[in-house]
A and B are shown apart, each in its own frame.
Chain A
Amino acid sequence: MTALPEGIEPEVPVPGYPNTWTHTPAQPLLPRPAGRTEMAGPVRLHRKLVPGAVNLAEATPGRPAIGQLMQIGGRILDEAGRPVAGAVVELWQANAAGRYAHANDGSAAPLDPNFTGHGRALTDEDGRYAFTTIKPGAYAVPVQETWWRPPHLHFSVHGPSCLSRLVTQMYFPGEPLNALDRILNAIPDGAARSRMIARFLPPPSVGDFFLGFTHDIVLRGRHATPEA
């Protein structure tokens, strides 16, 4: 594996996020060359991580979730720009009020019974994924020096090898909170940060009922080929 250029990966500790200190190894990481085990991965992981729930915004048929309905899609690519077919893409997010449907979220913001908050897709031959959802609300992080997370989506992507496993977040263009977010700004390189911001699609290309955004995600591991 070639080393990544400086500044692409987040730096720790993140101010105001004490877990980034208590959970991060203090000893330097041990470099190791990639062998078979690093290039290996599961075949047809979607047998276990079953895709299909790509509409988060209609937990109850006929009753859309509260918020701005939105289509989000894009391509999963490798470092050579080739589409990654058969990747499992997991998405989770807050609802329009900035609340997660998760036991750990103790915020006072309301839950929305018609919003599931999570979905799983499988990329097609062109590496494409797509979800129907709502634009999430911002939420406050309940630590000592409270800060606000901008609207964001969480993505977990399983590429063909264990090298190409990625957990990331996606942000929205034009959000004033982006410049203040400590998690987004833990990435030193400005160009890398801007690659995490989705592109707005003009309404005529999306249809009458949805906002549209497109977002491509690039995985590591150019040597690996996807399994059929």
Chain B
Amino acid sequence: MFPTSQQTIGPFFPAEFFGPADHDLTRVSAEAAPTRRGEAILLRGRVTRQGGLPCVNAVLELWQADAAGRFAGDADADPDFLFWGRARTDGDGRYAFRTVLPGRFADQLGPRASHANVTLLGSGLMRRVLTTLFFPRAAEELAADPVLALVPSGRRPLLLADPAGEEDGLRVFRFDIRLRGTDETPFFAV
């Protein structure tokens, strides 16, 4: 069967769909205690469109491995980690997630560096856009990553999250997404 076609999320995605802990991957539900495995971090950034203007009311979905590089369904995956979270941008285009620093793993593509994946949905985006951000770790780890290697070398720095201090005892990383124009973020087909 053919998959159903994508359509834009439009400007009216209900605010009621965002629960208080949806942006927090370290909890499997709003009531659950956060996972105790790994290093909890904050991931923040700003989404802009052509001309550097803020992209407001965009929906971001984040998914990644747990702190040990395992995924949901693996026998030894962290049962207290959800692997997925959702956030929306404010009037200035800013978003925020709480998660854990993802672990490395190897799969059929090769040794994967510490990374998280983003789906972005928004008014005017007729298809979702996908990207992958990399946490700043050893240069060899990044150099060996087979997905980062698909990006033209001059654009690779655009996929690196930057350390941005600490807050409430947690390290903060910043990752800005530029949908179109100068320093446009590299996006992947799948």
When the two chains form their complex, are residues A27 and B187 in contact, meaning their CB atoms are under 8 A apart?
A: yes
CA–CA, A26 and B185, complex, Å: 10
Find A1's partner among B105, B109, B190 (CB 8 Å cutoff).
B190
Q: Interface size class for chain B?
A: 35 or more
When the two chains form their complex, are residues A30 and B188 in contact, meaning their CB atoms are under 8 A apart?
A: yes
Asked if A227 meets B124 with Cβ closer than 8 Å, knowing A9-B6, A10-B7, the reply is no
Which residues does chain B contribute within 8 Å of A78, judged by CB atoms? 1
CA–CA, A81 and B185, complex, Å: 35
Find A79's partner among B3, B5, B51, B84 (CB 8 Å cutoff).
B3
The count of residues in chain A whose C-beta lies closer than 8 Å to any C-beta of chain B is: 81
Interface SS, B side: loop
When the two chains form their complex, are residues B151 and A30 in contact, meaning their CB atoms are under 8 A apart?
A: yes
CA–CA, A120 and B19, complex, Å: 13
Which residues does chain A contribute within 8 Å of B3, judged by CB atoms? 4, 8, 79, 166, 218-220
CA–CA, A92 and B17, complex, Å: 10
- A165 interfacial by beta-carbon distance below 8 Å: yes
One of A34-42, A64-72, A121-129, A205-213 at the interface? A34-42
- B127 interfacial by beta-carbon distance below 8 Å: yes
Residue-wise interface mask of B (17-42) relative to A, using a CB-CB cutoff of 8 A (1 in contact, 0 not):
10101100001111010000000000
CA–CA, A73 and B65, complex, Å: 34
**Closest CB-CB distance, A131 to chain B, in whole Å?**
14
Residue-wise interface mask of B (50-69) relative to A, using a CB-CB cutoff of 8 A (1 in contact, 0 not):
11010101000101110000
B residues in contact (CB < 8 Å) with A:
1-17, 19, 21-22, 27-30, 32, 49-51, 53, 55, 57, 61, 63-65, 71-73, 82-84, 105, 107-109, 112, 115, 117, 119, 121-129, 132, 146-147, 150-151, 179-181, 184-190
